[in-house]
Chain A
Amino acid sequence: KAGVTQTPRYLIKTRGQQVTLSCSPISGHRSVSWYQQTPGQGLQFLFEYFSETQRNKGNFPGRFSGRQFSNSRSEMNVSTLELGDSALYLCASRAGATNEKLFFGSGTQLSVL
């Protein structure tokens, strides 16, 4: 079974631009979560989607948004990029809304210049 797939692997953007990251969950998994990982703040929860609906949202500004499609694939968008948005963005999937086991992808490394 293929794992969680994230594209692209690396991205370089400039301040003020917007970016879209993509995530394909493990086949059969209906829940997709997004996390931001930085050396200073560690791993922080962004949001979770289940059956195309946002179930949970972390403490991030509205510039961070996401969506989930009917095939469970998810995208995350960051608008008006800031230098501090440079981070590894990780997508994770789990089988269902009550299943605790979270499986992470390898992430998208975003650099904002």
Chain B
Amino acid sequence: QQQVKQSPQSLIVQKGGISIINCAYENTAFDYFPWYQQFPGKGPALLIAIRPDVSEKKEGRFTISFNKSAKQFSLHIMDSQPGDSATYFCAADRGSQGNLIFGKGTKLSVKP
């Protein structure tokens, strides 16, 4: 049972464009939603995270939008750069259990 669905699987964006990755979850008990960035040969690195009491969180060029009623959240990367080319994972957790449920990942390629 996939509790966090992520789309698209892959994404190609021109340099300077906006990258948008979407996730949907099923378990309303989830209360923590992080995004991770993974480069080849490396482990995932925490990018940005949000809790359901906030509808949007911005850190630099990265923004999470959260829609609690629709059980959806998304990552927006503004002014995408070739260095942003990586695989992005959304995840969810409840009660700080540390048992992250990950989406299947989105491979982002930013073309120069």
Contacts and interface: CB of A to CB of B under 8 A. Distances in A.
A105 B41 CA distance: 10
Interface residues of A, number: 26
A90 B43 contact: yes
B13 interface: no
A104 B104 contact: no
Nearest to A105: B43
Contacts of B101: 45
A102 B100 contact: yes
A45 B100 contact: yes
Contacts of A104: 36, 43-45
Contacts of B32: 100
Q: Bin the interface of chain B by size.
A: 20 to 34
A100 B34 contact: yes
A97 B99 contact: no
A27 interface: no
Interface string A85-113: 00000101010011111111111000000
A56 B98 contact: yes
Contact of B44 (A90, A99, A100): A90
Nearest to B1: A59
A55 B98 CA distance: 9
A1 to B, nearest CB: 15
Nearest to A101: B46
A61 interface: no
Given A90-B43, A100-B49, A42 B102 contact: yes
B102 A98 contact: no
Interface of B: 32, 34, 36, 41-46, 49, 89, 91, 93, 96-105
